[in-house]
Amino acid sequence: MDYNKVKEGISLLLEGLGVDCNDPHFKESPERVARAWTDELCIGLKEETFHLTTFPMTSGDQPNMIILQHIPVKSICAHHLLPFIGEATVAYIPQKSLCGLSKLSRVVDFFARRPQVQEHLTSDIAQYFQHKLNPQGVGVIIKASHLCMEMRGVKHSGLMTTSALLGCFLKNSTVRAEFMALARLQ
C-alpha cells in the first residue's frame, strides 16, 4: 500500500467534488480519509504474515463438523469503492489439526479488510483454511448487502449470498446437506 498515493488520490477526489480543502473544517480531510483507508478499512493488506495457530487432534477428538456463524463481514467492493456488510458462516471437518474458534472469525476479518468482490472473499477464506489446516473439507457462506447496489444503480436493498465448498463439503452430499442445514439455523 502506498499511503502518499492514497492521500493524493483523496485530495483530487475531494477537489473534483468541490470540497474546499483550504476550509479549516476540511483541511485535514485528505489525511484523515487516507489513514482510515490504509490503517483500518484495508488493514488486511498490511498483514502479510498472518499466522494460523493449529493444534493436533488427540485420540479423544472426533472428526465432526465445526461451524461458526454470525461472523461480522465488513469489506469494500473494488468495483465501486463502497462497503458491503453482512455475516459469514465458516465450517470445517478436521483431519489431523484443529484451530481455535476465534481464528475462524479472525481469518474472515483478515481477508475482508481489503478492496475486492464478495465472490473472491468467500473463496479466499475457504482456500486459506484448506491450505493451512488441511481439513477433510471447508464450507464458507457469506450473506451481505452492498451499498453499491443500495446507493447507486438500481438503489434497491438485497442480500447477496455466496458460498465456497472444498473437499468433502463439495464431494459428499451428506456433509453438504448437514452444513446447509446448520447454516440456516439462527
Stretch that binds Zn ion, among 31-39, 59-67, 77-85, 165-173 (CB under 5 A): 77-85
- Is 77 a binding residue for Zn ion by CB under 5 A? The answer is yes
Residue 44 near residue 106 (C-beta atoms within 8 A): no
**Of residues 137-166, which lie at the interface with Zn ion (CB under 5 A)?**
148
Residue nearest to Zn ion (CB): 148
Of 91, 75, 96, give the one whose Cα is nearest residue 146. Answer: 75
The CA distance from 31 to 4, in Å, is 9
**Grid coordinates in use for 153?**
444503480
**Of residues 2-61, which lie at the interface with Zn ion (CB under 5 A)?**
none
If the CB atoms of residues 150 and 183 are measured against Zn ion, the closer one turns out to be 150
Among 11, 50, 74, 80, binds Zn ion (CB under 5 A): 80
- Is 180 a binding residue for Zn ion by CB under 5 A? The answer is no
Of 158, 148, 128, give the one whose Cα is nearest residue 140. Answer: 128
Give min distance, CB of 11 to Zn ion, in A.
Answer: 24
Residue 108 near residue 138 (C-beta atoms within 8 A): no
Q: Contact positions toward Zn ion, by CB under 5 A?
A: 77, 79-80, 148
